[in-house]
Amino acid sequence: MSEAIVLHACPRACSLVSHLALEHAGARFELRFVDLFKGEQHKSEYRALNRRGKVPFLSIGTEGIAENIAILSWIARRVPQAGLLPPLESNDAIHALSDLSWFSSSVHPVISRIVVPERFTSDKDGLEPIRKVACAALAAEFALIDSLLGERQWWWPGRPSAADFYLFWFWARVSDAPFDLGPYPNYRAHIVKLGQLPAVQ
């Protein structure tokens, strides 16, 4: 990776997934924080760089890539030996992208409704009903994840991967939310194992 690489990220946000992937791949990169909670994503200088106004956003020289799955795919292509994804031309990669799509389009939005329900209604009396429904939905997702992890060393065979870093962020994001993490012992053990990886530390 000879180009200047900059990851635009926010603490606690899902940009942690791409951050961990870059660390795991041994990439040299600059980390620039965009504080979503203070509205820095709306500043004109960031919007000029990333018109979507979200994180993560990866700058590689004059090129820019938005969204975790795209960034993870770029890193996996550039540093295949890191094992973030199966070879992108393989059938295994299709299943891997299916898992990542599940994580980003199903699990992530439910977590958002638990930790920031105010984004989804202007009715203050509606916050807790949104959170209650989301907690039930996340419990079902985490039960499935916990069951699958009971049969695996890592999410995909052989080594930690992009999927494991997504799982790490899920757990971290709801760890201080009103959501009971007690029923998921396999998932908890997986998080402890991930916490020992140099990239996570």
* CA atoms lying within 13 Å on the CB side of residue 195: 8
CB 141 within 8 A of CB 106: yes
Calculate mean pLDDT across residues 105-126: 97
pLDDT, tens digit, 9 for 90 and up, residues 44-53: 999 999 999 9
State both tokens at 149. Answer: 């992890």
**2 has a pLDDT exceeding 70:** no
pLDDT of res. 128: 97
Measure the CA–CA gap between 101 and 99, rounded to whole angstroms: 5
**165 has a pLDDT exceeding 80:** yes
pLDDT of res. 180: 98
CB 113 within 8 A of CB 126: no
In terms of pLDDT, which residue wins out, 1 or 21? 21
Calculate mean pLDDT across residues 108-136: 97
**100 has a pLDDT exceeding 70:** yes
Positions of E strands within 54-170: 57-60, 63-66
**1 has a pLDDT exceeding 70:** no
Measure the CA–CA gap between 90 and 159, rounded to whole angstroms: 17
| Residue (of 1, 198, 32, 170) closest to 100 by Cα position | 170
pLDDT interval class at 151 (50, 70, 90): confident
Strands 57-60 and 63-66: antiparallel
CB 92 within 8 A of CB 52: no
pLDDT of res. 94: 96
Question: Which residue has 């199903």 as its token pair?
Answer: 106
Measure the CA–CA gap between 55 and 168, rounded to whole angstroms: 17
Calculate mean pLDDT across residues 174-199: 98
pLDDT of res. 186: 98
Question: Which residue has 């891997």 as its token pair?
Answer: 96
Percent above pLDDT 90 for the chain: 97
pLDDT, tens digit, 9 for 90 and up, residues 49-67: 999 999 999 999 999 999 9
CA 3 to chain centre: 24
pLDDT of res. 88: 87
pLDDT of res. 3: 83
**176 has a pLDDT exceeding 80:** yes
Positions of E strands within 21-105: 30-33, 57-60, 63-66
